[in-house]
Amino acid sequence: MMLEAISDTLIQTSFGQFIYNQNLAFLAPELVISLTLLMTFALSLAKTQVDQAKSWGIALLGSVVALVSIVMHYQLFYTGQVSASQSVMFGMFEADLLSVVSRFILTLGFILILHLSKRFVETRLPSQTGEFYTLLLTAFLGALLLCGANDMIMAFVALETLGISSYILTGYLRNNLKSTEASLKYLVYGGCSSAVLLFGLALIYGLAGGSTSFAVLPQALSQASDLGAWASLAIVMILAGIGFKVSAAPFHTWTPDVYEGSPTPITAFLSVISKLAAFVFAIRLLTPFAGVGNENVALLIGLLAVLSMIVGNVAALKQTNIKRLLGYSTIAHAGYMLVGLAALTQNSLGALLFYLATYVFMNTGAFASAMIGDELLASEEISAYSGLIKAKPWFVFAFSIFLLGLAGIPISAGFFAKFFLFQSVVLSDLGNLGVIIIALLASTVSLYYYLNIIKVMVIGEPSEQVQRLIGEGKDSAWNLSKTLTLATVICLIFTLGLGIFGQSGLLISESAMSDHGATVTQNLR
Amino acid sequence: MNNLLPLIVGFPFLVAGVFPFLSKAEDASTQKGLHRIALGASVVLLLLTGLLALSPEAQTATFNLSWLPALGINFSLGTDGISTTLAVLTSLLMVLATGASISTIEKRLPLYYSLLFVLIGSVLGVFLSRDLFLFFLFFELELIPMYLLISTWGGPRREYAAMKFVLYTLFGSVFLLASIIGLAYFSQSYHLPTETLFSFTQLGALAQSGYIPPVFQLLLFVGFFIAFAVKLPIVPLHTWLPDAHVEAPTPISMLLAGILLKMGAYGLLRFGFDWFPVAAQALAPYIGVLAFINIVYTGSIALVQTDMKKLIAYSSVSHMGFILLALVAMNQVGTMAAVFIMVSHGLVSAALFLGVGTLYRQTHSREIALHGGVAQKAPFIFYTFLLMSLASLGLPLLISFAGETLALYGAFISESFRAIPLGFVTLPINIQWITGLSALGIVLGAAYSLWLVKRIFFGAVSDACQKLEDAKLNEVWVLGTLAVLVIVLGFKPQLLTSQFESSTQAIGKRFEQVLVQRDQALLQQLQGYSPQNGVSQNLPMGGQ
């Protein structure tokens, strides 16, 4: 009663009216995260490390609440209490099923990355804990907003929020030369790509007749009988910007260095959260082009895809550092996902979203394993993992599952995700079979380097570090970070389960896309 | 619904899941226990498949479980004569390979058996799947355990050989997957029920119906053909096989030759030839030539080998050529011969690899030149090896005789092609010529087998063989079982053929029908009238 009375009075106020009219309730996750980051920011001013350490718990609590609010939002859709698409803040933000599903995956991924960060921050950055989580939450906020951004300005601000926080985070190990190098490289590349993207958006703004909203794009594009040179230029520029974010070749050159130099949790963040958000942004921006001038857009994306698959997989063959190798592997994965984007059909985009979901767990799992490996062996070199199965068999099992998942070998989710993605692309048009064969050949190559790591761990002679581990036996003083272990186990469960029981996940992804397609353009098949 | 089927496929995975929890100690008593558990489990598996083969629904059992209905993927298993026969062969060879492991595998047993059971589970899954997605899943699943089995317990160049095996197979899988998805595309475009998008019956009926445009039939057939040509293997995609066989430990060589190659033969028969008979007969001349090359070329290579295991590996490829020839015949006899050779070669090659393995275990060398006079030192090995070599070269009253004779006979009476078109010129070589030339393979087989026996077993006892002992108990019963089977099935091949006769006949009839239709069309084309109404008409044939 009290509560209703309060809400009734609140809604009468002009601010209350604003919230109600602009559907701000659908921004609950973002609002929660904003509050959380203000709290961690306040905590970062605390002098003692004990107080600072609390910021991890606050960040976790905030993201769990955000997750719950997303689930509640989905519940409202599911029971039909709210219609599929809700415009928030004068159409700046589209609270549709696509944004709900992608933000759900994003938040899950972020919670995992918080688990990866805990021990790392405690040991490496004890006095900057508060700052670290504040920046991480800011970047995450940017990613969340990007998932629903339906307006060029909104999208660009979200992209920069994500980007600028990431530039700082990559350089967080201040005394480490490689980390500094990573930060600088990422900043310079990121700045340039943002400028190019902005130029592209400006051209689109002109094409759309002076509106920044994505919503007017389909109509504007269908009225233009022929996409002129300007539109093509705009698309090229936008693809360059997106290509940078998802680390697709030839805009990938920053990836290996940044991945190697950054703190590992941040590397995982870049490869998972950044990439997912950028793909959702790309889906929102590019679906209006389905059916109109589709061939050129598809051709360009396809070209990026093929290049990424080849460059990523071939370059990964010679890597000896595990983080660098995973860096090249994400380039290759960006290639596979771009194949789904290029087809631009409801099913292929749905399968792409499902692929992204499985990728979040496989790749976070792989980075979590790399972190455990670093804690165990104090090395990021693959040769140090030699013979590890004799000391830590279960760790080797988990790591192998993640790697096989990335390679697309059954029974992991990676196999299913790849199959669904490629199948949906071919089912939309048999002519795509050629690209799919290239993708499959590329993933054949990829198995070589993934399998190589497994081979080293399973059949190699124990390396020095591993011999020390074996010598210590069960009474080793070393204790594994509990949060890191938990994250790895969760990733493992999802990597194994998402494929076998993944139907509902795929269906939700597909319905998200059909919902999105229905609101945006009739041309999306 | 038959509940034995999921049990047969699931049981090996269950066993594989138990082994990592067992003791990792490397002392003799623990190892003995582990070997016994594995042997017990594989005997249980053999009993299960035996039960299936003896049950009244051995040819018709099915098991269906809705898995991912929205995607048209079902966990669907089933049998016909061919599947049941190959499942029994698989579990039988698994028992024998476990028996052979007792004296050859000494380190990291829990991991070894865990991988071995995953391997067997996926092979059984391949033979029993009735859903193309499931088939592909099992087909890929077998790779990783095989890779680790070869590269952990293999010979000096094991890592290279294992990687080569995986990459070659995966290269083939690319085309397999492309064909599967392509087939699904046509299924979708004809609006067939999506809940059973990947089911064999639906896709098979679609493929055989001829509703798929001929060009795509050809492409889909080629996709399946490349995938299984790697596995069978067919020259020039065979080079992984000698490496993998030579480096693999003895029990794995037995399984590799005994059942893994049969996955290729099975796939070629079921998806390649049976689903796309029209495309198959169009390409039959070229496949026939490939079969001839397979038989004679690799047979000749086998002749000059200095490494015992390599010799047997090449002889395997040569025998696989006979399967291909029997398939190209595209008639009932040929189809039956193909399945028969799958079984006979499975038994004989497993025994040959084990025979060589017993020598290698003691002399640590596979060089033929270093061996000599083994017959004096190890009479049991000698007698069984001699028997198997005779069986391998196709001596009457031993198992291979029936298979190879049937294959040559089937190909000789076949009408699958009468000339080899090469674009600008047509070679007047029909399948009878190819068959006659391929019969050379039998002569080559006799030459390399007998020469191998002569060099290893006769003559003066070489230095390396001075301390040689006869087979151990486990090897005796494994070789003994194989010898009994080779003789019994050689005397009475009906015991085996009755298992799959009806299935191969059904497939063979479809082949013959396609050939008859082709000849009728040709006749119409030549005479310019249709026999139904006798009215002259212009037929819409190309090139007139």
How do the domains of chain B map onto residue ranges?
282-500
Nearest to A391 by CA among A480, A494, A322: A480
Residue A100, exposed/middle/buried by CB under 10 A (0-12, 13-18, 19+)? buried
| B65 three-state secondary structure | strand
Neighboring chain B residues of A423 at a CB cutoff of 8 Å:
181, 184
Which residue bears the tokens 């005789």? B401
Residue B198 parent element (H or E): none
Tally of domains in chain A = 1
pLDDT at B58: 80
- Inter-residue contact A342 to A287 (CB < 8 Å): no
For residue A442, give how far its alpha carbon lies from the nearest alpha carbon of chain B (Å): 10
Task: Give the Cα-Cα-Cα angle A177, A182, A185 (nearest 5 degrees).
Answer: 120
- The structure tokens listed for B257 are 């030759």
pLDDT at B294: 93
Nearest to B336 by CA among B468, B149, B509, B208: B509
Given an 8 Å threshold on Cβ–Cβ distance, is A502 in contact with B68?
yes
List per-residue pLDDT tens for chain B, 544 residues long. Answer: 578 899 999 999 999 999 988 887 778 888 889 999 999 999 999 999 999 998 888 888 889 888 888 788 889 999 988 999 999 999 999 999 999 999 888 888 899 999 999 999 999 999 999 999 999 999 999 999 999 999 989 888 888 999 999 999 999 999 999 999 999 999 988 888 888 889 998 999 999 888 899 999 999 999 999 999 999 889 889 999 999 998 999 999 999 999 999 999 999 999 999 999 999 999 999 999 999 999 999 999 999 999 999 999 999 999 999 999 999 999 999 999 999 999 999 999 999 999 999 999 888 888 888 888 888 888 899 999 999 999 998 888 899 999 899 999 999 998 888 888 888 888 888 889 999 999 999 999 999 999 999 999 988 888 888 888 888 888 899 999 999 999 999 999 998 999 899 999 999 999 999 999 998 988 888 887 555 554 444 444 433 3
Among A436, A451, A514, which would you mutate to test the B interface (most chain B Cβ atoms within 10 Å of its Cβ)?
Answer: A451
Neighboring chain A residues of B133 at a CB cutoff of 8 Å:
419
Nearest to B81 by CA among B62, B63, B58: B58
Residue A440 maps to a domain = yes
pLDDT at A478: 61
Given an 8 Å threshold on Cβ–Cβ distance, is B185 in contact with A411?
no
How many CB atoms are located within 10 Å of the residue B520 CB? 12
Domain that holds residue A282: 20-520
Please write the tens of the pLDDT for every residue from A288-318.
877 665 567 888 899 999 999 999 999 999 9
pLDDT at A94: 85
- Number of cross-chain residue pairs from A and B with Cβ atoms under 8 Å apart: 83
CA–centroid distance for A127 within its chain: 28
A419, A426, A459 member nearest B185 (Cβ)? A426
Does residue A429 surpass a pLDDT of 90?
no
Does residue A116 surpass a pLDDT of 90?
yes
Residue A507 near chain B (CB below 8 Å):
yes
Given an 8 Å threshold on Cβ–Cβ distance, is B151 in contact with A404?
no
Nearest to A270 by CA among A146, A145, A170, A134: A170
Please write the tens of the pLDDT for every residue from A368-380.
999 999 888 888 8
Q: Which residue of B has its CA nearest to A420?
A: B71
Residues A355 and A280: their CA atoms lie apart, in Å, by: 12
Given an 8 Å threshold on Cβ–Cβ distance, is A415 in contact with B140?
yes
pLDDT at A259: 93
For residue B180, give how far its alpha carbon lies from the nearest alpha carbon of chain A (Å): 9
Residues A192 and B52: their CA atoms lie apart, in Å, by: 67
For residue B71, give how far its alpha carbon lies from the nearest alpha carbon of chain A (Å): 8
pLDDT at B326: 94
> A225: pLDDT confidence band, cut at 50, 70 and 90?
low
HSE value, Cβ hemisphere, 13 Å, CA-based, for A20:
11
| A489 three-state secondary structure | helix
Q: Which residue of B has its CA nearest to A415?
A: B137
Residue type present at position B211: Y
pLDDT at B489: 92
Does residue A48 surpass a pLDDT of 80?
no
A427, A440, A506 member nearest B178 (Cβ)? A440
Distances (CA, A) of B444 to B288, B329, B440, B447: 19, 22, 6, 5
Which residues are bridge partners to A505 per DSSP?
Answer: none
Residue A359 maps to a domain = yes
Residue A3 near chain B (CB below 8 Å):
no
pLDDT at B155: 83
pLDDT at B121: 95
pLDDT at B355: 92
Residue A395 near chain B (CB below 8 Å):
no
A420, A433, A507 member nearest B178 (Cβ)? A433
Give DSSP secondary structure letters for B11-45.
HHHHHHHHGGGS----SHHHHHHHHHHHHHHHHHH
Orientation angle between helical segments A482-500 and A97-124, nearest 10 degrees: 150
Among B75, B136, B142, B144, which would you mutate to test the A interface (most chain A Cβ atoms within 10 Å of its Cβ)?
Answer: B144
B70, B171, B181 member nearest A436 (Cβ)? B181
> A476: pLDDT confidence band, cut at 50, 70 and 90?
low
Average pLDDT of chain A to the nearest whole number: 87
Give DSSP secondary structure letters for A366-378.
HHHHHHHHHHHHS
> How many residues would you count in chain B?
544
For residue B358, give how far its alpha carbon lies from the nearest alpha carbon of chain A (Å): 25
pLDDT at B227: 94
Residue A207 maps to a domain = yes
Residues A206 and A199: their CA atoms lie apart, in Å, by: 11
Residue A438 near chain B (CB below 8 Å):
no
A389, A448, A454 member nearest B167 (Cβ)? A448
Per-window interface: A 475-504 vs B, CB < 8 A: 502-503
**Strand residue runs (E) in A76-159:** 87-88, 93-94
DSSP 8-state class, residue B270: I
B69, B143, B188 member nearest A409 (Cβ)? B143
pLDDT at A475: 57
Phi then psi for residue A379, to 5 deg, are: -155, 150
Given an 8 Å threshold on Cβ–Cβ distance, is B166 in contact with A419?
no
Given an 8 Å threshold on Cβ–Cβ distance, is B140 in contact with A437?
no
Given an 8 Å threshold on Cβ–Cβ distance, is B182 in contact with A427?
no
> How many residues would you count in chain A?
525
Sign of CA dihedral B456, B460, B464, B469: positive
For residue A137, give how far its alpha carbon lies from the nearest alpha carbon of chain B (Å): 37
Residues A52 and A49: their CA atoms lie apart, in Å, by: 5
Residue A9 maps to a domain = no
HSE value, Cβ hemisphere, 13 Å, CA-based, for A508:
23
Q: Where are the alpha helices (DSSP H) in B154-260?
A: 158-189, 200-209, 214-231, 240-247, 250-255
pLDDT at B535: 47
Given an 8 Å threshold on Cβ–Cβ distance, is A506 in contact with B71?
yes
Q: Which residue has the higher pLDDT, A470 or B328?
A: B328
Neighboring chain A residues of B188 at a CB cutoff of 8 Å:
427
Chain B residues bordering chain A (beta-carbon distance below 8 Å): 20, 67-71, 111, 133, 137-138, 140-141, 143-144, 147-148, 151-152, 159, 163, 166-167, 170-171, 173-175, 177-178, 181-182, 184-185, 188
ipTM: 0.90
pLDDT (mean) for A50-55: 81
Q: Which residue of B has its CA nearest to A446?
A: B167
